[in-house]
Structures are given as structure tokens and as C-alpha cells.
Amino acid sequence: MAPAESLPMVASLVAAVALVIWIYLVAGRGGFWRAGERDGGGPSSPVWPDVIAVIPARDEADGVGHTVESLLRQDYPGSLSLILVDDESADGTADVARLAAAAIGRMDRLTIIPGAALPAGWTGKLWAMKQGVERADAAAPEFLLLTDADIVYPPDTLRRLVSQSLSEGLALSSMMAKLRCESFAERALIPAFIFFFQMLYPFSWVNDRRRATAAAAGGCMLVLREALQAAGGIEVIRGSLIDDCAMARILKKQGPIRLSLSERVISIRPYSTMDEIRRMVVRSAYAQLRYSPLLLAVALAGLTFVFVVPVLAALFGHGAAQIFGLLTWVVMAAAFQPTLRFYALSPLWGPILPAIALVYMAFTLESAYQSVRGRGGLWKGRVQARAARTP
């Protein structure tokens, strides 16, 4: 067969393989696309153990007051106190937190620690978290609530988290807060970010104690303190840029973990422009690939094959190749729909998923480039990739 005559057969084969991959993703990867693992709760507990919330905060004045107030307004029947670690903020983060607590008359439940200088080998958030956990250890609470300073909690959140953790014997219970999705940039990129995260870490697999898959959402993590101590403490993951998933990995060795989407726990951090989302992704994308050029090449090739090839086949192919390409495009657009509904967005974003994937591929390439030039992990003035590579 002449080379030119074999091209349609090769194109059809490639398009068919892409379709088979998507059939596997939809049918065999833990139902990730359904976005079905939601926050719940367990039966009411007869005993409510002590909980201390640890809030690492660096230049978080815009959101920290809302976080502190929402935590201090929890209807939790047990003891709850807050430790905020002010990580060398320059915007009055600590003052905003104090005012929020004072405004509702609960300053006695808030402790603010000025963070020490960042040592070598640590990322900023984990260093701040370690200082907060050490202070909490003195009071020996049963649970630690590790939370970001831009998360707002409904009053019953902690009660539901603790009851579920107690009833299921969890070492870690994490909720993925609903990210803000208001600006055009957020509507275009945030739902896909959640979709890709679930594809990488199917929540049902994370929640299956028989599987090794482990992940968490760092904005909200209820941790059994004894399990964290048994895992070696924060020090074990001190250089991790993707600290929440690193935490999940060490804690799943100590007991079952749970990760769920939340409609009610929300992040109020705005990503008003594409550039803000770009910086968020670029900070850690290459770290996810373990700073490996080989893994980078494999990941980009795989994303191209899965998201781009079907569209090219649908638009420019002929015969079987075009049919397979169209079918695959329909499948991926349909798989994206539950996440779009979660964010109350038009289903018309579904067919645009391949273009959105191209944007994330560009962010991943930039993440690798910034790492090579010594700017990897840049966040709030700190270059942290070097810490992530420290043995």
C-alpha cells in the first residue's frame, strides 16, 4: 500500500484509539466526571472532641476576616479555637483577623502567632502550618482543621466534618471548596481546573481505602492529630508545593481519608483575569510532574492525543476518522457537563473543553520554563521550587 493511501487508515486508527481512551475515562476511571462525591456528614456524636483550626496566612487581608468570622460562628458543640500564623504579611493580615474576632466578641478563641523566618528546605505555607500545629499540640486537641485564609464556612460545617470523621474513622476529611466563578476568566478556566483535578485523582478512588490514590484540597482539611504525628508530622512533606496531596498521601497510610466537593464551603479568592489563574497554575504544574522533562513530554503528548487529536479529526478528517473524532468530541463535552452544572454554567462550554485544555498545556509549559530559569513555585514573592527539590 502506498504511503498516501495508508494515511486515511492511520488517521482512522488514531481517532479510534482516542475514542477508546475516552470510553475508558468515562466508564472506568471512578466516575470522576460525575462530580458525585459531595460533602455529607455522619450520625450525631455523643462526644464532641476538641478542635483547633490552624490558618497559615501571608498577605491575606482581603479574605482572612471572613474566614475567621465564619469559623468563630460555627455551631460546633465541642471546643473550637483558632491559631492564625501571620507569615510575614505586609498588608495588615493579623489586624484584620483581630478586628473580625473582636467584632463578634470572640477574641478569646483566636491566637495570632507572628511567623518565624522561612528556613531552607521549606515551602512558606507548610512552614507556617508547622508553627501553628506545634502551638496546637500543647493543647492536645483530637482534631486539627487546616484551612486557607480565603475559605468561608457555613455554621454547621465543622459539626458535619467531625461527625463524619468519627463515624468513618477517618485520618483526613477534606472538602474542595467551591471556587469563585464570576469573571470571564473564572468561567472559562475554573470548572476545567476542577474537572482535570478529578480526572487525575478520582474522588471515589481517594475515598476507597483499598486503593492507593490519595488527594486532598488544602483549603479545608480536618486531620486526626494522632495520625499526623504517626505519619511523621509536617516535616515529612516540608518541601512539597502540592502540599494538600502530599498530606493526603502520608495520612492515607495511617487510615482512611475522604475528599468531597462542597456546594456550601466557598473560596472567596478572586481570579478576575487569565493572568491570575495562570500564576496559580504555573506555580505548581511542573511540580506535579516531579520536575521531569520526560514526564512533561509524556503529559503534553497525552493531553494532545486526548483533547486535540479528536477535534482535528472531526474538523479535517474524512470517513471513519471524522466520525470517530466527532464521537470523541461529543463524549468529552458530555463528560464536562456535571462540572458545568456544579458551577451553574451554560452547557455550551462543553465543546470548548479542548481549547481550554490547550490553555492549561501552555501554563504547564511555562511552569517548566520558569523552573528551569530558577523562578519555579513563585508565589507572593517567594520562589519555592528549590524547597520542593530539597531531599
pLDDT of the residue at 366: 96
Mean pLDDT by 10 residues, the chain (391 residues): 66 95 97 93 86 98 98 97 97 98 97 96 95 97 98 97 96 97 97 98 97 97 98 96 96 98 96 95 92 96 96 95 97 98 98 98 95 78 61 41
The alpha-helical segments, DSSP class H, found in 270-336 are: 274-288, 293-303, 309-316, 320-335
Strands of the 172-178 sheet, one edge to the other: 110-114, 80-86, 51-57, 143-147, 220-224, 172-178, 257-267, 151-152
The alpha carbon of 120 is separated from its chain's Cα centroid by a whole number of angstroms, namely 25
Location of C-alpha cell 465541642: 78
pLDDT of the residue at 230: 98
**Residue range(s) of every CATH 3.90.550.10 domain in the chain:** 51-188+198-270
pLDDT of the residue at 3: 55
> Looking at the chain, which runs of residues are DSSP E strands?
51-57, 80-86, 110-114, 143-147, 151-152, 172-178, 220-224, 257-267
pLDDT of the residue at 2: 43
CA distance 251 to 244: 11
CB atoms within 10 A of CB 217: 26
In the CATH hierarchy, which fold is given to the domain comprising 51-188+198-270? Spore Coat Polysaccharide Biosynthesis Protein SpsA; Chain A (3.90.550)
SS3 state of residue 208: coil
267 backbone φψ class: left, alpha, beta (φ>0; ψ -120 to 50)? beta
pLDDT of the residue at 391: 41
pLDDT of the residue at 138: 96
Name the residue among 314, 369, 340, 16 with its Cα closest to residue 188: 340
No. of helices (H) and no. of strands (E), the chain:
16, 8
Name the residue among 297, 299, 283 with its Cα closest to residue 385: 283
φ and ψ at residue 141, rounded to 5 degrees: -70, 160
pLDDT of the residue at 388: 56
CA distance 268 to 195: 20
CA distance 384 to 121: 9
CA distance 340 to 192: 9
Q: Which set of grid coordinates corresponds to residue 83?
A: 491559631
pLDDT of the residue at 44: 79
pLDDT of the residue at 196: 98
Cα angle 23-354-377, degrees, rounded to a multiple of 5: 110
> Which residues are CB-contacts of 191 (< 8 A; sequence separation ≥ 6)?
181, 336, 339, 340, 342, 343, 345, 349
pLDDT of the residue at 41: 78
pLDDT of the residue at 390: 46
Alpha-carbon torsion (217, 222, 227, 233), positive or negative: positive
Q: What are the Cα distances from residue 6, in Å, to 103, 222, 305?
A: 74, 57, 20
Q: Which set of grid coordinates corresponds to residue 254?
A: 495511617
pLDDT of the residue at 8: 79
